[in-house]
Structure formats: structure tokens, C-alpha cells
Amino acid sequence: MRLLILTGLMGVLAGCTEVRSIEPLHAPDTLVFDPALLGVWKEDDGPGLYVVREGRDRSYEIFVTSTENESAQRYRGHLVRLAGEWFLDVTDAGNTGFAVPAYGFARVRSRGDEMEVAFLETEYLRKEVIPKSGLSRFSVEKTVILTAPTADLVDWVRRQAADPRCFAEPLKLIRTR
């Protein structure tokens, strides 16, 4: 079973995570590209449709649409393996130059044509984990913005990877193509 970050991507698109980072989880020497993530994915019991294509420099281009409306969003994701799990850091690919990029982190588990994506669980992390972490950060309303460097984020995610309380209910996806 592989953990894939695609599920995290969907949560970012839907605004499911309120823990974001100024820095990515990946570094050029830690990037992994898995073609098994490519394709068209539909939410098991929801309106979301996710098209994942190969991007530049071992990245993923992620397009998210809904069967309920015409809106579409475009994201860029990078896959890394930490503590035996697959994680995707996802950011908005439509940055116009006036916005500061922010990354959402998700754990991805994939088996054949099924995938589960679990973003960080905001409330537990905000109340129980992040205050004790030593990570540099600030808050904007309910959103925690991590400002720690990538190396510190990687160490922190490795320590949280085995704790199921740190992840939201996974989004379940089925490959359609």
C-alpha cells in the first residue's frame, strides 16, 4: 500500500486544512515521482473530480473541478516519502504574483485504482501539537501559518506521521481513467 498525497491536494482545494506553510515539505533532493498518481480521480461519494498530470521537475499538476458547478482550480504538488509514508505538499498553481504561496500537507495512501488523501487535522494540531513543537509560526484568524524551514518541517512531519489524530478524515478517491 502506498501513501499518496493526492488526497491532501483535494483538501487544500476545498479549504479543508487550516494548517499551512510558507515553505514546502519537499527539497530538490527528496522529490519522488510516482506515475501511479496520474489519471482522473473521482470522490467516492462526493462531487469532486481530480485530474492529475505530470508537471515539470518531478511535480504534479492537479486540476480540481466539481460536478455541482463549473468552477475549476489548479494546483501543483510534490511527493516525498517520510517515516514510511507518502506525503504531498500542494500549492495553488494560479499564483498571480500578488499572493504569497502557501503549502498544504497531506498523507496519501493508494492501492490500485483507490486512493485516500488525509490532510493535517487542524483542531488537534492547533491545540495540542503545534504549541509544543517549537516550530516558528503565526496565526491569521483560525489558520496557522508555519514559517519554519523545510528541514524543520520534515522532522516535525516525521514525528507526527504515526499519530492518526494528526490527520483529518481521508478523502476517498476512485480512478476513472
Residue with cell 495540542: 128
pLDDT number for residue 14? 42
pLDDT number for residue 45? 86
**pLDDT for residue 8 is more than 60:** no
Residue with cell 495512501: 109
pLDDT number for residue 7? 37
Averaged pLDDT for residues 162-177: 94
pLDDT number for residue 95? 66
> What confidence tens digit (pLDDT) does each residue in 13-72 have?
444 568 999 999 999 999 999 999 999 999 988 888 999 999 999 999 999 998 787 778
pLDDT number for residue 2? 33
pLDDT number for residue 17? 66
pLDDT number for residue 94? 76
Integer Rg of the chain from CA: 15
> What confidence tens digit (pLDDT) does each residue in 147-156 have?
999 999 999 9
Averaged pLDDT for residues 131-135: 90
pLDDT number for residue 96? 67
Contact 25, 14 (CB under 8 A): no
The span from the CA of 82 to the CA of 15, in Å, is 24
Provide the residue type at 106 as one letter: A
Residue with cell 470522490: 43
Sign of CA dihedral 152, 155, 159, 162: positive
> What confidence tens digit (pLDDT) does each residue in 87-116 have?
999 999 876 677 778 999 999 999 999 999
Tell me the domain boundaries of the chain. 6-175
